[in-house]
Amino acid sequence: MTTDANLDTDLVEVSPGGEASCRLEVRNGGPIVEAYVIEVLGEPAGWASVDPPTVSVYPGSAESVTVRFHPPRSAQVVAGERPFAVRVIPTETPDAQVVPEATVRVLPFAEIAPEILPRTSRGRRGGRHELSVANRGNVPLGLALGGGDPDNRLTVTIRPPQVTVAPGATAFVQVRARTRRLLWRGHPVTLPFQVGVTSDDTPPATLDAATVQEPVFPRGLARIVAALLVLALLGVGLWYALLRPTVKSLAEEAAQQQVAPVAQQASAADARAQQADSKAQQAVDAVGPGGASPLPTPSNPVRPPSPTPSAGVPGIPAGGDSFSRRLAVTAGVGATRTDQYTVAARRVFVLTDIFLQNPQGDEGRLDLVVDGNTVLTVALNNFRDLDYHMVSPIEVPAGRVISLRSVCRRAGATLDGAGGGGGQCRDYALLNGYTRNASPARP
């Protein structure tokens, strides 16, 4: 072999954001002057360089070059050992190339970037926040989370209190700041608190936040109540002074108009009853003493009164049948999924109530589509349970489709016992109403 190359070490250690190097000696054992092209192979090639990249060596002599490693300080370069090789290619005899090998060890570093949103919440019993912790280091980090306030007026709860974050990943946890006492009246009060993030590899980080406690009874409530009482008293006085006599007079006139036909019918019935009594008395006189009224016989049976028909189901017309249908959609993050129901043939589905459920607290959008038209759009992060009662029901003819479409932006925590894997939005809609026969088509 006319070419020989050797590295001066088997292991090079380098810190992310820093630089380390080793020496490569190239020896020419051939009879002519040879030029060599040198390049680094393997994963470290992206952040390695050779100085100089080409070298000329006289016969029987050797030259040295420097192989430098300078990985960026980034979570993309994970700590650990990576093998590499240096290929030495002679330009005159490319088939005589040599490839010495060694290992570069990337040292670990730890860095976190915590953030809490919103910085200020509002509510009568406190507020909710979300804490995000980004791992900008190149090793996994175990983090412990805690919170408190200097005046001990809040209970700060963090779920979960401990998380493990992979390099380049971000963990999200829920923070609840709950007041220990209610503020019944007065001005809103700002209550500051802190959230701490600690790990074995990074300095502790403290985030400041606050919740504004609002009073149960807002300012000006007494004036509003007094004004309502004055209006009520004025209304009562107006009723007794003006409206009541007029209403009473109108009611008496209406009652007399309604009673007059009834009184006429009662007088006529009285006259017919008197005539019947006279005829009955004549029949008794004709039978004579000891006569008896006829007993019931097969030819003259006693007939029971006719049964009273039962009332129908309230809200459902005659011929209608109560009907409910539940639509369920499961969608991955960034995906759109749909569940649908097709109205049966020769029936009309009258939709009166819609109940929407978002039990996991997903984020995204939920659409209710009837026959291709979107009739309802809601943001998932605005509710957990939501119901609509239609003033004017929606009639869906036979063969038409009702669809529930979910656009998943971020999945909430999976409920215990709900089944299925995490990382998916699960949303539901319960459609209530009734079905009835479709009207026949007119010729």
User: Token match 């006693």: residue?
Assistant: 302
Give CA angle at 197 (196, 203), nearest 5°.
Answer: 110
Cis peptide bond N-terminal to 71, omega within 30: no
In the chain the domains, ranked by start, together with CATH numbers, are 3-106 (2.60.40.10), 112-213 (2.60.40.10), 321-412+422-437 (2.60.120.730)
Give CA angle at 71 (64, 164), nearest 5°.
Answer: 150
> 336 near 351, Cβ under 8 Å?
no
User: Token match 């309604």: residue?
Assistant: 258
Q: 88-140, pLDDT tens digit by residue?
A: 999 988 888 999 999 999 999 999 999 999 999 999 988 999 999 999 999 99
The mean pLDDT of 48-55, rounded to a whole number, is 95
pLDDT reported for residue 314: 64
Q: 314-328, pLDDT tens digit by residue?
A: 668 877 889 999 999
C-alpha torsion 180→185→190→196, nearest 10: 10
CA 146 – CA 198 distance, rounded (Å): 9
pLDDT reported for residue 319: 72
The mean pLDDT of 203-210, rounded to a whole number, is 94
Q: What is the pTM of this model?
A: 0.48
The mean pLDDT of 337-364, rounded to a whole number, is 93
Residue from 382, 392, 393 nearest 427 by CA:
382
pLDDT reported for residue 379: 94
pLDDT reported for residue 342: 95
CB-CB neighbours of 314 under 10 Å: 5
Q: What percentage of the chain has pLDDT greater than the value 90? A: 62
More reliable by pLDDT, 286 or 18: 18
Q: 181-197, pLDDT tens digit by residue?
A: 998 888 899 999 999 99
Distant-in-sequence contacts of 216-219, Cβ < 8 A, 24+ apart: 216/124, 216/182, 216/183, 216/184, 216/185, 217/184, 217/185, 219/185, 219/186, 219/187
Asked if residue 358 has pLDDT above 90, the reply is: yes
Q: Which residues contact 53 (CB under 8 A, 6 or more apart)?
A: 37, 38, 39
Q: What percentage of the chain has pLDDT greater than the value 70? A: 84
The values of phi and psi at residue 56, to 5°, are -105, 135
Task: List % helix, strand, coil for the chain (3-state, nearest 5).
Answer: 20, 45, 35
CA 211 – CA 125 distance, rounded (Å): 9
Where are the alpha helices (H) located in 169-242, listed in sequence order? Answer: 221-238
The mean pLDDT of 231-244, rounded to a whole number, is 82
The mean pLDDT of 78-84, rounded to a whole number, is 95
The mean pLDDT of 144-167, rounded to a whole number, is 93
pLDDT reported for residue 30: 86
More reliable by pLDDT, 419 or 168: 168
Exposure class string for 269-306: b at 16+ Cβ within 10 A, else e: eeeeeeeeeeeeeeeeeeeeeeeeeeeeeeeeeeeeee
Asked if residue 79 has pLDDT above 70, the reply is: yes
Q: State the SS3 of 57-90.
A: ECCCCEEEEEEEECCCCCCCCCCEEEEEEEEEEE
Q: Which residues contact 214 (CB under 8 A, 6 or more apart)?
A: 122, 123, 124, 183, 188
CA 241 – CA 287 distance, rounded (Å): 68
Please, is 34 exposed, middle or buried when counting C-beta atoms within 10 Å of its C-beta (0-12, 13-18, 19+)?
buried
- DSSP 3-state of 293: coil
pLDDT reported for residue 281: 59
Q: 249-304, pLDDT tens digit by residue?
A: 777 777 777 766 766 776 676 667 667 666 655 654 554 444 433 444 444 443 44
pLDDT reported for residue 420: 54
* Average pLDDT of the chain, as a whole number: 85
CA atoms within 13 A on the CB side of 34: 27
Q: Which residues contact 119 (CB under 8 A, 6 or more apart)?
A: 208, 209, 210
Note the residue count of the chain: 443
Asked if residue 77 has pLDDT above 50, the reply is: yes
